[in-house]
Amino acid sequence: MWVEPMADAGANQYTFHIEASKDVPDLCRKIKEAGMKVGIGLKPGTDVSVVLPYGPLADMLLVMTVEPGFGGQKFMADMMSKVERLRAEFPLVNIEVDGGVSPANIDQCAKAGANMIVSGSAVVKSPQPAEVISQLKQAVQKVFPE
């Protein structure tokens, strides 16, 4: 699963999709042994219960808010219930949302419990990308002060 090459290249976190892993605990162990943090991602169609047993092994849980594949898709607000559940179960784990995240929905994401975000189109298509990044960061920091 390319764990060693990623670590050798300088990655400090390795995130994989739970749907693509045959042995989640083994992969988590290999990532940690290689000196990286563990992230586990969940596609929109995957029930949150699938990842719950592995939460204690993860540094970050990623809730995809679009179908993985490409940027520019519509944010799926119904994924927020997964974020809420994961935050309730794992108060100290980083929870990330990825897909269609923008200033229009960042408050929902942060309120549900996401403290890490991926935002592509909203940033790069804005005439003021720095302003968008700042808005996104402020919204998260309001809920998760450093």
Ligand X SMILES: O=C(CO)[C@H](O)[C@H](O)COP(=O)(O)O
- Chain positions contacting ligand X, by CB under 6 A: 66, 68-73, 98-101, 118-122
Nearer to ligand X, 46 or 73 (CB): 73
Name the residue nearer to ligand X (CB basis): 56 or 72.
72
Identify which of residues 31 and 62 has a Cβ nearer to ligand X in the complex: 62
Least distance CB 73 / ligand X (angstroms): 5
67 Cβ contact list (under 8 Å, min separation 6): 43, 44, 73, 99
Q: How far is the CB of 15 from ligand X (least distance, A)?
A: 12
Closest residue to bound ligand X by CB: 120
Q: Closest approach of Cβ 43 to ligand X, in Å? A: 10
Q: 55 or 120, CB closer to ligand X?
A: 120
CA distance 82 to 80: 5
Q: CB of 47: closest distance to ligand X in angstroms? A: 20
